[in-house]
């Protein structure tokens, strides 16, 4: 089984530039520079690489919306979204700390494909080790001529910078991230215009996830058909999946896209710890709907998880065991989302704290039967289309599915005047 993204991962001592080059590193840059930018875009689009940050949109198609040609506005920007703050998600940290040059090479190729002039790695503030490694790797790439002016004699130039965020979950939303890069408050922007047309400083901009960029060198080196052949589903390539919770071996693994929930938990995570059973599963981080033991044979790809009533999201699942209180579990998540709301729109700013307070009162034994109707109402009115961005709708996914699958637990809290766990 091929594992292109993680085959050279070394968390103790990541590959230096020279070591990376010895293993074929930066050959994708050399190959891409002999192609036209449109040819690189087409190859990535045909590979069916979908964004690994959660949206699952075709990456090459996203790039194709950027204006090209002599009359295109400049500078153009390319940004790696490394602001990994989704609870339960740690896949990008593995790539950032274990193989930084792979990310940089992927960004260079992607920047060439859209003819970007300036690029940024927007990094979560808490990733101190990653920051030092990325900074060192960028310097090595400049020294070797992979960044800077007239890269490898191609006539094309690219500047790359590291930017560390201030630690707000909101910065993971691409337009809020762009506002933060501009030195503004990290609030989302109205769309349209989309960043591909008017992004950073009003210029064409592409924002992609770290894992997405890391796929690019392998696609360019090996071709679109090779990448599609790595998968077990219609979604191409491999994916870094993760599992956390009371399993025997929590962690992250690169596997073919489309492995089942059961395989992830039972084979790779080693199953549940003695004395615990699966009660619920958030398949792609905290902002996804619960799945249950009835969904263990669902394939972990975008279409299959959606058909089961959730989202694959980041592909890093949180397993809730039968000894954990669903009400307390969901309250903990809503507390996080409430405090991370940027406050830009009223439903999110006012609704999420209200949800958090209702759940706290139920957990403390002060809940009322009508509280469940209030929670259901919030799940609807804070859903898609009713807020400025996806933060509140994402927060409602674990809540609405908990009310669906674990309603008896909510009712028992209310009737027994306390948490029975």
- pLDDT confidence band for 352 (50 / 70 / 90): very high
Q: What is the CATH number of domain 238-321?
A: 3.10.20.600
**Average pLDDT estimate for 309-318:** 96
The yes-or-no verdict on residue 25 having pLDDT over 90 is yes
Domain covering 17-229: architecture: 3-Layer(aba) Sandwich (3.40)
Give the Cα separation of 272 and 322 in Å (integer): 11
Give the Cα separation of 39 and 29 in Å (integer): 13
CA dihedral (48, 51, 57, 63) in degrees, to 10, reads: -80
Token couple for 311 = 């989202």
60-103 per-position pLDDT tens digit: 999 999 999 999 999 999 999 999 999 999 999 999 999 999 99
Give the Cα separation of 198 and 271 in Å (integer): 47
Token couple for 21 = 């080059």
Instruction: Label the pairing between strands 77-82 and 205-209.
Output: parallel
Domain boundaries, the chain: 17-229, 238-321, 326-416
The burial of 411, by beta-carbon neighbours within 10 Å (0-12 exposed, 13-18 middle, 19 or more buried), is given as middle
* pLDDT for position 183: 95
**What is the strand order of the sheet 159-164 is part of?**
159-164, 118-123, 77-82, 205-209
- pLDDT confidence band for 345 (50 / 70 / 90): very high
User: Are the C-beta atoms of residues 278 and 245 closer than 8 Å to each other?
Assistant: no
**Count of C-beta atoms within a 10 Å radius of residue 78:** 29
154-213 per-position pLDDT tens digit: 999 999 999 999 889 999 999 999 999 999 999 999 989 999 999 999 999 999 999 999
335 Cβ contact partners less than 8 Å away, ≥ 6 residues apart? 356, 360
* pLDDT for position 54: 83
pTM (two decimals): 0.96
Q: Annotate 7-60 with DSSP letters as a single string.
A: TT--SSSPPPHHHHHHTTTTHHHHHHTTS-HHHHHHHHHHTT-B-TTTT--BHH
Q: What is the CATH number of domain 326-416?
A: 1.20.1440.230
């Amino acid at each position: 089984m091929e594992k292109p993204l993680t085959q050279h991962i070394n968390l103790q001592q990541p590959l230096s530039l020279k070591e990376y080059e010895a293993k074929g590193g930066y050959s994708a840059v050399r190959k891409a520079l002999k192609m036209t930018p449109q040819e690189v875009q087409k190859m990535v689009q045909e590979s069916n690489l979908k964004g690994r940050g959660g949206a699952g949109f075709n990456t090459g198609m996203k790039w194709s919306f950027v204006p090209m040609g002599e009359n295109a506005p400049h500078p153009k920007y390319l940004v790696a979204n490394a602001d990994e703050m989704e609870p339960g998600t740690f896949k990008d940290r593995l790539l950032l700390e274990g193989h930084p040059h792979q990310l940089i090479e992927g960004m260079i190729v992607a920047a060439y494909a859209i003819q970007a002039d300036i690029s940024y790695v927007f990094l979560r503030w808490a990733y101190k080790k990653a920051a030092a490694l990325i900074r060192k790797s960028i310097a090595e790439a400049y020294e070797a001529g992979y960044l800077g002016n007239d890269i490898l004699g191609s006539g094309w130039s690219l500047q790359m910078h590291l930017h560390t965020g201030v630690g707000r979950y909101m910065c993971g939303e691409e337009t809020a991230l762009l506002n933060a890069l501009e030195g503004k408050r990290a609030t989302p922007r109205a769309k349209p215009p989309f960043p591909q047309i008017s992004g950073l400083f009003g210029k064409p901009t592409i924002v992609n996830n770290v894992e997405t960029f890391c796929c690019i060198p392998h696609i360019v080196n090996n071709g679109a058909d090779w990448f599609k052949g790595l998968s077990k589903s219609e979604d191409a390539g491999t994916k870094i999946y993760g599992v956390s919770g009371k399993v025997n071996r929590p962690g992250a693994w690169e596997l073919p896209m489309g492995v089942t929930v059961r395989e992830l938990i039972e084979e790779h995570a080693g199953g549940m710890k003695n004395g615990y059973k699966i009660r619920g599963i958030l398949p792609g981080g905290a902002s996804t709907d619960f799945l249950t033991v009835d969904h263990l044979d669902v394939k972990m790809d975008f279409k299959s998880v959606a058909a089961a009533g959730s989202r694959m999201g980041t592909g890093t699942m949180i397993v809730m065991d039968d000894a954990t209180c669903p009400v307390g579990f969901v309250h903990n998540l809503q507390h996080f989302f409430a405090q991370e709301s940027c406050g830009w729109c009223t439903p999110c700013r006012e609704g999420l704290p209200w949800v958090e307070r209702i759940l706290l009162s139920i957990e403390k034994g002060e809940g009322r039967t009508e509280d469940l109707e209030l929670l259901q109402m919030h799940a609807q009115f804070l859903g898609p289309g009713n807020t400025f961005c996806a933060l509140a709708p994402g927060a409602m996914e674990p809540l609405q599915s908990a009310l669906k699958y674990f309603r008896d637990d909510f009712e028992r809290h209310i009737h027994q005047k306390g948490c029975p766990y």
